[in-house]
Amino acid sequence: MKMRRLATAFVATMIAAAPTLADTLHFPSLSYRTGPFAAGGIPFADGYSDYLTLINERDGGIGGVPIRQSECETAYNTERGVECYQSIRGDNPLVLQPLSTGITYQLIPRTIEDGIPMHTMGYGRTSALNGEVFNWTFNYPANYWDGASVIINYLLEENGGALDGKKIVLLYHNSAYGREPIPTLTRLAERHGYELLTIGVDSPGQEQGSQWLQIRRERPDYVVMWGWGVMNPTAIQEAANIRFPMENFIGVWWSGSQQDVLPVGAGAHGYKALAMHGTGMDYPIYADMQRYVIDTGKQAGTGAEVGTVLYSRGMYAAMLAVEAAKKAQEIHGVAAITPAMMRDGMANLEITEELMAELGLPNFGPAFSVSCQNHGGSGAAMIQQWDANAGEWNLITDWIQPDRELIMEMAMEDSLAFAAENNMTPACLN
Amino acid sequence: MSDTLLFALEATLNGLTAGVMYALVALGFVLIFKASGIFNFAQGVMALFAALTLVGFQSGQVPFSHLINAIFGTKLHHFGWNMPTVLAIPATVLVMIALAILIERYILKHLVNQEPIILFMATIGLAYLLEGLGDVMWGAEVKALDVGLPKGMSGAVDDMTFAWFGYGFYIDRLELWAAGIAAVLVASLTVFSQYTKQGRALRAVADDHQAALSVGISLRFIWVLTWSIAGIVALVAGIMWGSKSGVQFSLSLIALKALPVLILGGFTSIPGAIIGGLIIGVGEKLFDFFMQPVIGGATENWFAYMLALVFLLFRPQGLFGEKIIERV
């Protein structure tokens, strides 16, 4: 009797809840809070979730429709990422953020088939910036090839416009992610006359003795790093050990968070990394974040990560998703948008300096616009440098533009090859 | 001396010190396998758990604070004091002994006389449990570990080799310390097992469980003792690897470095773990040195296993392992 009553109550609750589920905007998060890369996954997931919570609490959702969040644990494992996708694909996910290049490659054909937009901010398949081939994948505001080009442009600026005769080592995570910048750096080496030496590190990268012995022997002018997880602090520690000048060691944006430098201590002082967005708490948005999310105890994590590099990245990804949803609502005149409408919002997204200031994030990210032909934004990034004494990252440049002409040329080659392999005819969807 | 020879010599020396780091992890596996026939899948996670606990004690972190705060709405994080390393290490040793007692009481006791594969599966479960416990207890953020060990290039080795060869060799001081600590650890384990009552009992159990039981040796006590020693070895490995690149959850993956060492040195030999570690360390460094220009590096992960495989073909029990003879 008791069981029957319970079952009746359960069914009644589900019926009552059903319209609520349909009248929400579903933003799933493919996060990794466990496993060997959890230290990087947690702050990103927290930043993503906290921003969406802020929009719900402060604005009542987007266009009056509340946001519904869901989280699926991938442990940064490609198979588990695909399983997560299978579990949420039928639940009207507005945009997927797989947070892994390996998962992205697996999901590209699936999302094309299912008509679900995917945002791979600063990771994933670089040539997805050709929106005529990759209609459902977006990688604004910057991709790996942009990052590699920004580093070379920065080094050109540092060396009076010439890198002839310089030796640059690329120390990369031996994975799809780590190998992404090799074609760009090779092409740029031909153009600028520097010597490129690529050295791989097997995942996870706790032992890099051989690599750094080789770097010590080769005496390069600069070391560029495409690392992730424990590979980053290990490499920075090894660089400090061999007394490599830290100001000549530059990491990609995935090698430039607090987790990468703090374990090394004073030895990491002067290390540089790309920054695709600002960091720290000096943005007006944090007043609202404090009031509506942290003070009310609604934050996703412990609050200790707020304002760190990877938290800021998660927050930025959520902000771009919310702005795309607003754009979609504006284009279609509908508040309860579908994934296909969200795609249109992403394909027509325009981020201006004024909008960033209005959102409480002045100069936090670059101004850019997205189009059918260009899903990759502007590609601009800044350079930040670690101050071990103050324990903070300092931005040392303004936005540096990549060599977009070369990158578009390379992206066209790669994306058209993908289209030919898959019998696709490149075209805009709308 | 030619540059290539000098560089190869430097790579060899670095291989030896790296090999000691691998051997430190392998030692924990050997101790448990020797005494109880269990391949302890959780050894890497034990090193992570020990290192997390040590950092937690050092920094005065409140264990389970996230859980307590979530349930009771409190804002506990730190006790407000830092524990000196000389106290934090013994405190962590006590935690590892308590862990060994719990493992014996709640897992091993119930699996006496089970097939080795059942015991192995139980250690897989233990690995997941400990990883989750470490996360809930101390949090998943990356932590810096500093127990006062020196890091960076050894100036003495650099100067000495420069005077001899005109080229200064690079050796990490942390790895030199690891070699010294490993030597002390192996010497202590040898003295313990040869000259103490408990050590002899441990060897008796390792030789023959049933014969040891028949002369009154408590199997349960020996298991607690073995897992406690393995916990202490895990703490040493956790300190050395954690000092190198911080304490984070990927620390548990150092177990992968120990597997080829065990295959090569044998699962039942402490000297085998050391020699195996040295062979793997030197082998992978030299292979990388000579083959990097041809195949582009990133050879450490697969080369160690390939080398172990070659040894396996000729000596399945490893270099120093006991040959298993089964009669029908």
Query: A304 in contact with B at a CB cutoff of 8 Å?
Result: yes
Query: A219 in contact with B at a CB cutoff of 8 Å?
Result: no
> pLDDT (tens digit, 9 = 90+) per residue, A156-196?
999 999 999 999 999 999 988 899 999 999 999 999 999 99
> pLDDT (tens digit, 9 = 90+) per residue, B189-199?
889 988 999 98
Tokens of A18: 């059903």
| Rg (alpha carbons) of chain A, rounded to whole number | 22
pLDDT at B324: 66
- Whether residue A14 is predicted with pLDDT greater than 50 in this model: the reply is no
pLDDT at A19: 41
Q: What is the C-alpha to C-alpha distance for residues B212 and B230, in angstroms, rounded to an integer?
A: 21
> pLDDT (tens digit, 9 = 90+) per residue, A327-382?
999 999 999 999 999 999 999 999 999 999 999 999 999 999 999 999 999 999 99
Size of interface A-B (CB pairs under 8 A): 140
Cβ proximity of A297 and A404 under 8 Å: no
Superfamily of domain A144-275: Response regulator (3.40.50.2300)
**What SS3 class is residue A330?**
helix
- Confidence at B29, pLDDT banded by 50, 70, 90: very high
Q: What is the C-alpha to C-alpha distance for residues B262 and B27, in angstroms, rounded to an integer?
A: 9
Percent of chain B with pLDDT over 70: 98
> pLDDT (tens digit, 9 = 90+) per residue, A224-274?
999 999 999 999 999 999 999 999 999 999 999 999 999 999 999 999 999
> pLDDT (tens digit, 9 = 90+) per residue, B173-214?
999 999 999 999 989 988 998 899 998 998 888 788 788 889
Among partner residues B66, B142, B284, which is closest to A259 by beta-carbon distance?
B142
Query: B10 in contact with A at a CB cutoff of 8 Å?
Result: yes
Q: What is the C-alpha to C-alpha distance for residues A341 and A63, in angstroms, rounded to an integer?
A: 14
Query: B139 in contact with A at a CB cutoff of 8 Å?
Result: yes
User: What ranges do the domains of chain B cover?
Assistant: 3-255
- Confidence at A306, pLDDT banded by 50, 70, 90: very high
- Confidence at A94, pLDDT banded by 50, 70, 90: very high
Q: Which residue has the tokens 């260009």?
A: A374
Cβ proximity of A111 and A133 under 8 Å: no
Query: B12 in contact with A at a CB cutoff of 8 Å?
Result: no
Which residue ranges does chain A devote to CATH 3.40.50.2300?
23-142+280-377, 144-275
Give counts: helices (H), strands (E), chain A: 15, 13
For an interface test with B, the pick among A179, A196, A223, A230 (most B C-beta atoms closer than 10 Å) comes out as: A230
Tokens of B327: 């009669």
Among partner residues A200, A207, A263, which is closest to B142 by beta-carbon distance?
A263
Among partner residues A36, A209, A240, which is closest to B14 by beta-carbon distance?
A209
- Confidence at A16, pLDDT banded by 50, 70, 90: very low
**What SS3 class is residue A223?**
strand
pLDDT at A15: 44
CATH architecture for residues A23-142+280-377:
3-Layer(aba) Sandwich (3.40)
For an interface test with B, the pick among A210, A243, A296 (most B C-beta atoms closer than 10 Å) comes out as: A210
pLDDT at B203: 85
Which chain A residue shows the shortest CA-CA distance from B243? A263
Q: What is the C-alpha to C-alpha distance for residues A142 and A276, in angstroms, rounded to an integer?
A: 7
> pLDDT (tens digit, 9 = 90+) per residue, B74-127?
888 889 889 999 999 999 999 999 999 999 999 988 987 788 899 999 999 999
| Cα–Cα separations (whole angstroms), residue B268 to B310, B316, B323, B324 | 19, 13, 10, 11
**What SS3 class is residue B247?**
strand
**What SS3 class is residue A430?**
coil
Percent of chain A with pLDDT over 90: 87
Q: In terms of Cα–Cα distance, which of A392, A215, A94 is closest to B292?
A: A215
